Structure 1
Amino acid sequence: MSDHTPLTKADRLAFLLRKTVADAAGAEVKAERQHVIDDLLELHEEHGVKQVAVKLPDDEQIATLTISQPTPRTEITDDDAFIDWAAEHYPDAVEKVTVRRVDPQLLKVIAAEYPEADGRHYSADGEQVPGVRTHTPPPSSFSVKYADGDRSRERLIGAWRGGELAELDTGDTLPALEWTGNTA
């Protein structure tokens, strides 16, 4: 026998309300993310800024928005040249099927073992690996880090509930709350 306490109609309705608000807020955040990353990228391009502090009206920092740095990508730029080179230097990585192709895992070896300069890779004796380049795509995302973890989250919600953020456009999901003079 289970010690589960059955939910009431009100419990299920309260859950559905929270889920509906969370879904709506999630959709708003998703739609707004591109605007935020565009703003961060503009700040980065114009001023070299990679991180922006987010503060409450009393100047307490509660989070930072940080541009995520993409990982460099090594790609084949000329299949035939790279296959010919790989067949000579890594013959086990070249498969013969109806067409020749190089095992994609070899790109990881090239990136790790062959020094890169200006996107091109070179052997120890200076031979360029043909048909392969490494480039780092431009940033396209950001992360949010709360200054003091859960305490900062609680402080932000408390400031919103207490009306300290009444001047903010809270979107269609969150109601704007009026300042009541307390933060409880």
Structure 2
Amino acid sequence: MSLKEAAAREAYLKTLLDVVDDAYKAARAETRLHLDKAAEETGTRQVAVTLPDGPDIATVSLSAGEGAAKVTDPEKFKAWVLENYGSEIKREFVTSVQPAFEKKLLAEMTAAKSTEWADKETGVVHEVPGVEIAPARARTHNVRFKKDGRDKVMAAWRDGRLVNVALPELTAGGAE
């Protein structure tokens, strides 16, 4: 293959890749909207995917996001630790909370899904300033293909069975 042929092939595939990527992102966003709506209205969190004329090839499932304790105001958090747990302050040219203590507090608050923290030694429950329960992992969805699901999609694409379903602008010769 010559340089000219290799460059042309790359340009053609890049064009197709960009169109497919844009279409995929739009389809993913639309699926997510429908999944969120179905979960809210009926509790449905997954759907089977079938080819237009064939068997199930995949399952699309909604996953729940997770919240985690997160320091959102380091100065307030540090001031509270300094006042209540001075031994957990690491003194340098600047003061900071001992990383292990911060990790421990955040893990315990994440588990409790609260910014209140109970000191196991004293039994005192503290409302810890500068910490919030914030999204740590966004809610999303995933596609899990059956063992031969991808092969069946590719065969359907090659046979023209997905012409009006996936990327009609590629198969119908749409122009921009």
TM-score when normalising by structure 1: 0.68
**Mapped pair 1:108 → 2:98:** no
With over 3 angstroms needed to count, the CA separation of the structure-2 counterparts of 1:63 and 1:83, relative to structure 1, is same
Stretches of structure 2 lacking an aligned partner (at least 5 in a row): none
Which of the numbers 125, 128, 139 marks the counterpart of 1:127?
A: 125
In 2, the alpha carbon distance for the partners of 1:90 and 1:44 equals: 47
Whether contact under 8 Å (1:73, 1:135) holds in the other structure is yes
Question: Relative to structure 1, is the Cα distance of residues 81 and 14 closer, same or farther in structure 2, using a 3 angstrom cutoff?
Answer: closer
1:142 equivalenced with 2:145 (yes/no): no
- Contact kept, 8 Å, 1:54 with 1:61, in 2: the verdict is yes
Structure 1: segments with no counterpart, 5+ residues = 1-5, 178-184
Higher fraction of helix: 2
TM-score, normalising length: structure 2 = 0.71
Pair 1:165 & 2:162 matched: yes
Alignment partners' CA distance in 2, 1:31 and 1:11: 30
Structure 2 residue matching 1:128: 3-state secondary structure: strand
The equivalent position to 1:72 in structure 2, one of 57, 67, 80, is 67
Alignment of 1:10-159 (within 5 A): 10-76=5-71, 82-87=77-82, 88-89=84-85, 91-93=87-89, 102=97, 106-113=101-108, 116-120=111-115, 121-124=117-120, 125-131=123-129, 132-136=131-135, 139-148=138-147, 151-159=148-156
CA RMSD of aligned residues (A): 3.4
Distance in structure 1 (CA, Å) of the matches to 2:73 and 2:4: 64
The total of aligned residue pairs comes to 168
Verify the 8 A CA contact 1:85 1:130 in the aligned structure 2.
Answer: yes
Deviation at 1:84, TM superposition (A): 3.6
Instruction: Tell me the residue number matched to 1:181.
Output: none
SS at match of 2:161: coil
Give the distance between the partners of 1:44 and 1:94, measured in 2 at CA. 46
- The reply on whether 1:175 has 2:174 as its aligned counterpart is no
Find the aligned partners of 1:130 and 1:165 in 2 and give their Cα distance. 55
Deviation, structure 1 residue 74: 1.0
Q: Which has the higher contact order (CA 8 A, sep 6+)?
A: 2
Could you report, residue by residue, the CA deviation over 1:32-66 in whole angstroms, capped at 9, with x for unpaired residues?
Answer: 33222111111111122222221113451212222
Three-state SS of the structure 1 residue aligned to 2:119 is coil
Q: Partners in 2 of 1:77 and 1:15 — Cα distance?
A: 46
